[in-house]
Amino acid sequence: MNEILILMKSEWVLLLIIIIFLFIKVGSTEWKNENLLYLANILLLINFILGFVLNTDGIIFDEMFKTNSLICLEKNILNLGTLLISLQSYHWLKNHKHVAEFYMLLLSTLLGMFFMISSNNLLMFYLGLELSTIPLAALANFDLHKRQSSEAAFKLIISSALSSGLLLFGISLLYGTSGTLNLSEISQHLNGSNLQLFAFILLLAGFAFKISAVPFHLWTADVYEGSPVAVTSYLSVISKGAVLFVFVSVLYTVFKSLGIAWQNMLILLSVLTMIIGNLFAIRQNNIKRLLAYSSIAQVGFILAGISGCSQLGTTSVIYFILIYVFSNLGAFGVVSIISSTTGKETISDYKGLYKSNPFLSWTITIALFSLAGIPPTAGFFGKFFLIMSAAQNGNYLFISIAALNMVISLYYYLILVKAIFMDKNEQAIEKIHVPILPKIAMLICTAGIIIVGLYGEIYEYIFKLSFGY
């Protein structure tokens, strides 16, 4: 009993917070929105801090649920990202009627992700995946009066249903050929038959859908654009990050013996994802759409890192996601505050932003530099290790394509920076008052972008925890 309490402590804490919100919602006292938001952020902060204590390794529930220090680290990264998003959405939620529901839904999806990361069984994994998806559709609809928001939610739920169906099909085929659902046993029953390969492709497609790799990415742009910014950033950072964590561990441990086959698949997907993500991003004028496509392109780089098949692969992916949390949330934080105060979302609206809002301009610029991988921001180091991992196979054509794509991505990131700093604008965005909580989140992101890259111990710490291929 004690073991269950301790090994699942992250999940218990989240559940507790969800229940607290449930009681607040059904209780008779009316809470002021500000107070509720402060409470929520304090609880999330406590949750984040608790992530660092009592971390033990173990496996429970008939080998359904496992945990170890790497998994705890991954959960901490997700906790941190959720906290940052919650801080940033203060401004948006302040005038929203359903704050308690927002947090209940949000934390339910986080709980789902935790189960997914800790799963040692395909059923458990599926359960976690669904728990992390379905409430998200409700969240995407959270701008209740906007038609676009409902459209986004609808598209998300339909596409998810489709991908989940195919994923389940893959799981059942895998069960049929191997006779087990236990992740640590499946690998012994893999023989590389065509049926198993097909099952793997279905599974891969399910993952690729969640991380929006090309050609399974088409839902991304519509959903990102329609959803509230907080949800968009959650989708693009947290839910993607969680799936990637599982993806790496499943590929590296379970499907080890099919290595060469999936390595080539990954390279193919990676190239397609980078190129198509970038080509679409170039054409965008809406910043949320631009960030959506750029996040697709970023996934292409992550896939390149995964294709390295080594301890460096795992490390570089986790390290990059940590950096990505800071960089992407830094950018989304600024977009969120500007969009919720002025409703302006296009690149031309951002012209001359520096004159009126230097703080916001610098925050988004540093974040964009990091996304583009310009030294000395952390993004550079993240991409550097991803490419280094990919280079281990000696596929130099692939590396060159990746490098070229970095240049293309530089173009659209810098267009935005140019608009902010150099272009003149008669109707520039006026001075925006940034409330304290979002400001804290932005400062944390900026500090993270600078520190994570330069402080080498972090990388080495992840490297020590990571598993090899």
Partner 1 sequence: MSNNNYIALIPLLPFASFVLLGLFGKKYFNKLSGIIGTTSLLASCVLSLYAAYTYFFVFGKVNAVYQKFEVLKFSWLQFSTTTSIDMGLLLDPISMMMVVVVTFVSLMVHIFSLGYMKGEERFATYYAFLSLFTFSMLGLVLSTNIFQIYIFWELVGVSSYLLIGFYFTKASAIAASKKAFVVTRFADLGFLIGILILGFHAETLDFNTLISTLTNPQSAQFLSITSASFFGITALTWALVLVFIGGAGKSAMFPLHIWLPDAMEGPTPVSALIHAATMVVAGVFLVARLFPVFALDVTALDAVTYTGLISAVIAAIIACTQTDIKRVLAYSTMSQIGFMMFALGISKIGGEEGLGYMASMFHLFTHAFFKSLLFLGAGAVIHLVHSNEMKDMGGLRKLMPITHITFLIACLAISGIPPFAGFFSKEEILLAASNSNKLVFYVALITSALTAFYMFRLYFSIFWNKESQAHSEHGEGTLTMKIPLIILGICTLAVGFVPFSELVTNNGIGFHSHIDYLFSITPVTLSLISIFVASVLYKKQNLEPEIISKSLGKFYTSAQKKFFVDEVYLFITHKFIYTLIAKPTAWFDKNIVDGLMNLMAETTAKISELIKGVQSGKVQNYALYFFAGIAALAILFIYILK
Binding region for partner 1 (CB under 8 A): 154-155, 158-159, 162-163, 166, 194, 197-198, 201-202, 204-205, 208-209, 215-216, 218-219, 221-222, 261, 264-265, 268, 276, 279-280, 282-283, 408, 454, 456-457, 459-460
Is 264 or 342 the residue whose CB approaches partner 1 more closely?
Answer: 264
Is 208 or 317 the residue whose CB approaches partner 1 more closely?
Answer: 208
Is 65 or 413 the residue whose CB approaches partner 1 more closely?
Answer: 413
Is 276 or 449 the residue whose CB approaches partner 1 more closely?
Answer: 276
Give φ, ψ of 66 to 5 degrees.
-130, 160
Chain CA centroid to CA 158, Å: 20
CA dist 403 and 409 (Å) reads 10
CA dist 388 and 301 (Å) reads 11
Of 283, 342, 355, 270, the closest CA to residue 313 belongs to: 270
Of 74, 88, 97, the closest CA to residue 44 belongs to: 88
Chain CA centroid to CA 73, Å: 15
Q: How far is the CB of 360 from partner 1 (least distance, A)?
A: 17
CA dist 134 and 140 (Å) reads 10
CA dist 226 and 161 (Å) reads 19
Q: How far is the CB of 168 from partner 1 (least distance, A)?
A: 14
Q: Could you tell me if 249 and 184 are in contact, meaning their C-beta atoms sit under 8 angstroms apart? A: no
CA dist 349 and 9 (Å) reads 46
CA dist 53 and 202 (Å) reads 38
324's tokens? 């990505």
Q: How far is the CB of 225 from partner 1 (least distance, A)?
A: 10
Task: Kindly give, in sequence order, each residue whose CB lies less than 8 Å from that of residue 352, ignoring residues fewer than 6 positions away.
Answer: 420, 423, 424, 425, 428, 429
Is 124 or 156 the residue whose CB approaches partner 1 more closely?
Answer: 156
Is 251 or 329 the residue whose CB approaches partner 1 more closely?
Answer: 251
Whole-angstrom CA distances from 112 to 73, 180, 216, 224 are 17, 23, 22, 21
How would you class 3 by CB atoms within 10 Å of its CB: exposed for 0-12, middle for 13-18, buried for 19 or more? Answer: exposed
- Alpha-helical runs (H) found in 119-193: 122-140, 147-178, 183-186
Is 268 or 414 the residue whose CB approaches partner 1 more closely?
Answer: 268
CA dist 65 and 125 (Å) reads 9
CA dist 85 and 48 (Å) reads 13
Is 408 or 440 the residue whose CB approaches partner 1 more closely?
Answer: 408
* Exposure letters 13-28 (e unless 16+ CB within 10 A, then b): bbeebbebbeebeeee
Is 99 or 202 the residue whose CB approaches partner 1 more closely?
Answer: 202
Q: How far is the CB of 57 from partner 1 (least distance, A)?
A: 25
First to last CA, the chain: 34
Q: How far is the CB of 34 from partner 1 (least distance, A)?
A: 32
Is 85 or 251 the residue whose CB approaches partner 1 more closely?
Answer: 251
Q: How far is the CB of 311 from partner 1 (least distance, A)?
A: 13
CA dist 321 and 274 (Å) reads 17
Q: How far is the CB of 314 from partner 1 (least distance, A)?
A: 16
Q: How far is the CB of 417 from partner 1 (least distance, A)?
A: 18
Is 430 or 460 the residue whose CB approaches partner 1 more closely?
Answer: 460
Is 19 or 158 the residue whose CB approaches partner 1 more closely?
Answer: 158
152's tokens? 């986004």
